[in-house]
Amino acid sequence: MSLLVRGATLPDGSRRDLSIADGRFVESSDASATVIDADGLLALPGLVDLHTHLREPGFEQSETVLTGSRAAAAGGYTAVFAMANTSPVQDTAGVVEQVQSLGERHGYVTVRPIGAVTVGLAGERLAEIGAMAQSRARVRVFSDDGHCVHDPLLMRRALEYVTTFGGVVAQHAQEPRLTIGAQLNEGALSSELGLAGWPAVAEESIIARDVLLAQHVGARLHVCHVSTAGSVEVIRWAKARGIRVTAEVTPHHLLLTEELARGYDSRFKVNPPLRRDEDVVALREALADGTIDIVATDHAPHPVEAKECAWDEAANGMVGLESALSVVQAAVVDTGLLEWSDVARVMSSTPAAIGLLAGYDSPFSVGSPAHVTLVDPTAHRSFSTADLHGKSVNSPYLGRDLPGRVIATVHEGRPTVLDGVLLAPEQVGADRV
Ligand SMILES: NC(=O)N[C@@H](CC(=O)O)C(=O)O
């Protein structure tokens, strides 16, 4: 298949045609190429999400690899890293290979499974990290996300182990003893509402410990969903000392605050919780100055019955793949903190580099795999369930006006979204002709 993306504006502001054939960018198109008119559209490199919950195997009522891949493509993503908290847990070569194969079969995005750090995410003994790394899935990112690897000796061993093949441990930083029963950010609001709080120090103390461990063993550490101003300070300190730490922030922590918990609408219940205005300001600045390296969605689908219940019984998590780019535009582009070229870095090339995913280091250059996201940054939409393509609807943005819209997504030279419409599985899947 060959494509000609005509007249796209690249992140650096230059305007050019993009010729694609056999999955890669080429010098020029032949007459048979399908033309995509990109006049007035911004071309970003295909987005990469380092933190997605696809729920399969085990929680298919919330999401599957297919439905999550469709949600990702609709949001402009061409690759996602699938978190390990499935059932069975992604803690063996067999399970990670299964997830990888499902992604390949559906073809909407590249699915890279994340391996669990500990068996069953139980935090007691290391999972088969080496076997997952050597499997056909070639796992390079390991995480117990949803749980913190809180035993310092296990964390040390995991960091040492992954270093032998260049991998990384992505830590869910939450000291469990400080967050028993926690329902929202700890502070004046949690006192007022009479709900158990989730203190910032529970995140900051684990990050502080882990950067010191990473320094001690010379390992690479990645910090998931950083949510507090204090965490930013710790990471800034660690980077200044040359410690090999990278960090992510979610779109929701860049835009939303704890005040939304007042209405007890559980769409706003998430782990780590929404924080204060001053945390949002610090997170935006940290993304702009490079202290925080990437944006990752933490797309966490849950069925209606897990969300439509009392706040303290509701599951933590929000879907985020289809809204991420718009939320980033609202939070940091339209506010003048980031340029589109920075967005390309924090949502594509750097997450790929952290996860050791090849093909994203020289976007749009001849010979590179053709992953493209065409965006209309001038569009506006009232975000609705029609914008959601996964199985779950627990989005905090329903009814909110969001800027920007994904018009086309091209994964390995093949469209998954065209004219703003997500293509059907038979038009996209690996068993197509
Ligand atoms: N981020 C969330 O709020 N939820 C995550 C796991 C977790 O981090 O608690 C999930 O898997 O649902």
Task: Report which protein residue has its CA nearest ligand 1's atom 2.
Answer: 317
Q: What percent of the chain has pLDDT over 90?
A: 98
Q: At 429, is the pLDDT very low, low, confident or very high (cuts 50, 70, 90)?
A: confident
Q: How far is the CA of 11 from the centre of ligand 1 (A)?
A: 32
- Please identify, by atom number, the ligand 1 atom nearest to the C-alpha of residue 315: 12
How confident is the model over 303-327, as a mean pLDDT?
Answer: 97
pLDDT band at 431 (very low <50, low <70, confident <90, very high): low
pLDDT digits (tens, 9 = 90+) for 333-368: 999 999 999 999 999 999 999 999 999 999 999 999
pLDDT at residue 430 in the model: 63
Binding residues for substrate: 53-55, 85, 271, 302
Residues whose CB falls within 8 Å of the CB of residue 192, separated by 6 or more in sequence, listed in order: none
C-alpha 56 – ligand 1 centre gap (Å) = 15
CA–CA dist 272, 176 (Å, integer): 12
How many Cβ atoms are within 10 Å of 30's Cβ, its own excluded?
Answer: 10
Q: What pLDDT, on a 0 to 100 scale, did the predictor assign at position 393? A: 98
Per-residue pLDDT at 114: 99
The model's pLDDT over 362-395, given as tens digits with 9 standing for 90+, comes to: 999 999 999 999 999 999 999 999 999 999 999 9
Mean pLDDT of 272-297: 98
Tokens read off for 233:
């300070």
Q: Is the pLDDT of residue 177 over 70?
A: yes
Q: 3-class secondary structure for the chain?
A: CEEEEEEEECCCCCEEEEEEECCEEECCCCCCCEEEECCCCEEEECEEEEEECCCCCCCCCCCCHHHHHHHHHHCCEEEEEECCCCCCCCCCHHHHHHHHHHHHHHCCCEEEECECCEHHHCCCCECCHHHHHHCCCCCCEECCCCCCCCCHHHHHHHHHHHHCCCCEEEECCCCHHHCCCCCEECCHHHHHHCCCEECHHHHHHHHHHHHHHHHHHCCCEEECCCCCHHHHHHHHHHHHCCCCEEEEECHHHHHCCHHHHHHCCHHHCCCCCCCCHHHHHHHHHHHHHCCCCEECCCECCCCHHHHCCCHHHCCCCECCCCCHHHHHHHHHHCCCCCCHHHHHHHHHHHHHHHCCCCCCCCCCCCCCECCEEEEEEEEEEECCHHHCCCCCCCCCCCCCEEEEEEEEEEECCEEEEECCEECCHHHHCCCCC
pLDDT at 1: 87
Which residues participate in catalysis according to the annotation? 298
Instruction: Give the mean model confidence (pLDDT) for residues 320-329.
Output: 99
Nearest CA to ligand 1 atom 6: 146
Q: Which of 80, 144, 145 to probe ligand 1 with, by most ligand atoms within 8 A of CB?
A: 145
Residue-averaged pLDDT of the chain: 97
Q: How far is the CA of 115 from the centre of ligand 1 (A)?
A: 16
- Ligand 1 neighbourhood includes 317 CB (under 6 angstroms): yes
Dist. CA 315 → ligand 1 center (Å): 8
Which atom of ligand 1 lies closest to the CA of 83? 11
For ligand 1, atom 3, name the residue with the nearest CA.
317
Is the predicted pLDDT of residue 163 greater than 60, yes or no? Answer: yes
pLDDT digit string, tens, across residues 243-267? 999 999 999 999 999 999 999 999 9
Ligand 1 atom with the shortest distance to the CA of 318:
3
Say how far apart CA 272 and CA 206 lie, in whole Å. Answer: 13
At 433 the pLDDT is 39
* ipTM of this complex: 0.96
Q: What are the structural domains, with CATH classification, of the chain?
A: 46-362 (3.20.20.140)
**pLDDT per position as a tens digit, 106-136:** 999 999 999 999 999 999 999 999 999 999 9
Instruction: Report the atom number in ligand 1 closest to the C-alpha of 225.
Output: 1
Q: Is the pLDDT reported for residue 143 higher than 80? A: yes
- Which residue carries 């068996």 as its tokens? 119
Q: Does ligand 1 lie within 6 Å of residue 174's CB atom? A: no
Residue 432 has pLDDT above 70, yes or no: no
